[in-house]
Chains A and B, each alone.
Chain A
Amino acid sequence: MAELTTVAFYLVPIVLFGPLLFFVLWQLGLKDVIRPSEALKASRQAARQAAKDAASGEARKQAKVHFTKHRREEGRSPVRLILQAVCYVGFAALIGYLSARPTYTWLGPDLAEIKLSLSHPGQHVAPCVKRTREELMALPPNMRAPQKCSRERVPVTLQMELDGDLLFDRTRKPEGLSGDGASTFYARLRVPAGEHRLVLRLRDNRTGEGFDAVKDVALTLEPAQLLAITYRTDQGFVLR
């Protein structure tokens, strides 16, 4: 079932939008590239011939130019060239200035940043049950797992407290169509630089009470310092 869902996940856009994209490209001219009609070939031949005739310049040489003369005389007088230079300088100044100015302050002075980024699966919604001998025998040999577990996992709650203030408190559902993936957290928090007491709490149990991992740490953040916080099942909270 999971494989089918995954395959469908990739196939649906291809099946839905693939023909549409192909149709659009076909209408746009792919058909003319792949299989030009006789009429189109004739049109192209006519266009090529016309371009050839025009390029020969016979008509141009013989013409007494009155109404098209101004096209060739444009922008060449010294005064115009000087004025053009002024315009170019203005354009260049605008490009040069806006390519790097005015400056933008992303992080103010005396601030640091804490980045929370973790991906952690909660416990299964129901506890695993040991299969009886009869149940195991009823299964095909390749599927005789000793325990029967539900796929769905519980949401995970993450809290971050800094100097007694609760700055982050979120509960995330597990990812995946069946709710069997990890719960993912990502957040950037700006805090004053200096000494702090940081408390991190994580709940991943199915009872929804208490916290399964807690870290209480005193730390000093330098201005513009980035503190990344992750979580590993074997190590708990990791501060880098």
Chain B
Amino acid sequence: MLKVIQTTLQGPLLRAEGLFDHPFGAHWNPMRQLGTLSFFFYWIVAVSGIFVYVFFETSVTGAHGSIEYMTVQQWYFAGVMRSLHRYASDAMVMTTVLHMSREFITDRYRGVRWFTWFTGVPILWFLYGSGISGYWLVWDQLAQYVAIGSMEWLDWLGIFGEPIANNFLTRGSLGDRFFSLLVFMHIFLPLFLLFIMWIHLLKINRPRINPPGGLALGSLLMLIALSLVYPATSHPPADLGTVPTVLGLDWFYMILYPVFDTWGAGMMWAAALGVSMFVAFMPWLPPLRRAKPAEVQLDKCNGCTRCFEDCPFGAISMKPRSDGRPYTQEAVVDPRYCTSCGLCVGSCPVSTPFRKTDQLLSGIEIPGLTLRLLREKVDAAVAGLAPPDPAGKPGVVLFGCDHGADIEQFQDGSVAVVRIPCVGMLAPSFIDYILSRSGAAGVMLSGCRDGDCYHRLGIRWTEDRMDGLRDPYLRERVPRARIRTLWAAPNEPGKIGRGLATFQADLAAAPADIQAGEPADKPAPAA
């Protein structure tokens, strides 16, 4: 059932995301920065909240007036800060919910990702708690409605001796003391939220918590402009002797209140807890998949820490040497967090195909696709290429990953296809190996959509390695003109096809020495 929902929604999601690629580019695409944007909006809410708190009067009689003062008299600064506080909170709800939905649709919540997914559920509770408690403090008619609804919802549990909704029963019922409690709730709930957000990222290596500068700036300017053009305002002051009639709800936070009015507290508790529990335990619903974790080959591992640094999920740690060899550390894999993506294999300096078959072993191996098997796979694919023909298309070895566009359809006499778990598994020396030892004119690397690697860091590490920014480097002698990268979503096989055709045309038009490749022992001219 979940799979059907995922499959149905994946196409529209990828298409919608692709639309944002045009204006923003792959790395600024907000749909791929939903988590970082949520963090960013949190900081805006925190800073603006601290500012607003300075001017806020924490009393029943003074709260509304102090906020009105900020909104009307101090509209140009305090008012903007108040609006920023509200709109950034709303934006955070939107990006958080979208982030969670996206992780579900793209199937990034199971396996080793269970922890991140699981801790995302309390984030939603704390986020809503933080926002709702903020609305109480304005102490206008909306606050009256939300506060009474919230208290009645809590009273249903029957854990309070007297209904806490009685604090809002009549004029004069609400005292400054209880109001101060609400203020404290609005301070401590966001702090707990931040704490849970920190926990949320604990099992991710190199988590991104800041959006790219341009996207952050654009989002901030957007919120400031919105605050100036359409400032947040209050309802009339709360009056516990009357009932608010028509309310301008903040639907980001209050969408459940009309449902509560219709269903009642019991149903709302059942729905809220039921949905939360179901969502929290979704990672353990079938179909369960568990690939065999990476295995360290101690006799080849010199403790260089590259796999430890490159692992996207922090599954590798460095521990004191256990085999007596003259190195200080060795890599150790925690199978609970290993996705078998193979990024560690790609990072290992020993992962080179330029060895005799009996010595072909990496310092860290994926059981289903060892270095030896990978070279055999590459050799077999290259052997399927037609002999070089000056009149025909240049032969290209096309690498693809398990989560990108389907590449098998492009296999023919001029294209050899090799599928690997993640493009980051391919050590740069393999490219050198193909271009120097086989008759292939070029190597094309494809994978997930740019900025959206299923294994988080595969594309980034691949590009960095080829540009000499990250170990292991692609050797200088390899002509870059004979390599091309093309990142495409599963629904974009056409993009691969077009890129492939262009690449082959470019190779055919390239100078003969680049097309044929230089001998392995001579440096190639700069591309």
Contacts and interface: CB of A to CB of B under 8 A. Distances in A.
B248 A100 contact: yes
Given A75-B23, A228-B169, A63 B223 contact: no
A109 B223 CA distance: 36
Contact of A107 (B230, B243, B329): B243
A126 to B, nearest CB: 24
Contact of A67 (B202, B232, B485): B485
Contacts of A92: 87, 222-223, 225-226
B309 A98 contact: no
A87 B20 contact: yes
A84 B218 contact: yes
Interface stretch (A15-23, A35-43, A211-219): A35-43
A196 B22 CA distance: 65
B94 interface: yes
A232 to B, nearest CB: 13
A84 B308 contact: no
A75 B248 contact: no
A39, A92, A109, A188: most-surrounded residue (chain B CB, <10 A): A92
A28 interface: yes
Given A80-B24, A99-B87, A186-B155, A104 B169 contact: no
A67 B243 contact: no
B107 interface: no
A224 B318 CA distance: 68
A46 interface: yes
Given A42-B318, A106-B247, A184 B90 contact: no
Interface string B84-111: 0011001100100000000000000000
B247 A103 contact: yes
Interface residues of B, number: 79
Interface stretch (A110-118, A161-169, A198-206): A110-118
Interface in B217-273: 218-219, 221-223, 225-226, 229-230, 232-233, 240-252, 258, 261
B475 interface: no
B243 A99 contact: no
B408 interface: no
Nearest to B230: A96
B288 interface: no
Contact of A71 (B27, B170, B242, B462): B27
Interface stretch (B157-165, B388-396, B490-498): B157-165
Interface of A: 28-29, 38-40, 42-43, 46-47, 50, 59-60, 62-68, 70-71, 73-76, 80, 83-84, 86-89, 91-92, 94-96, 98-101, 103-109, 112-113, 115, 117, 119, 175, 181, 184, 186, 188, 224-226, 228, 230, 240
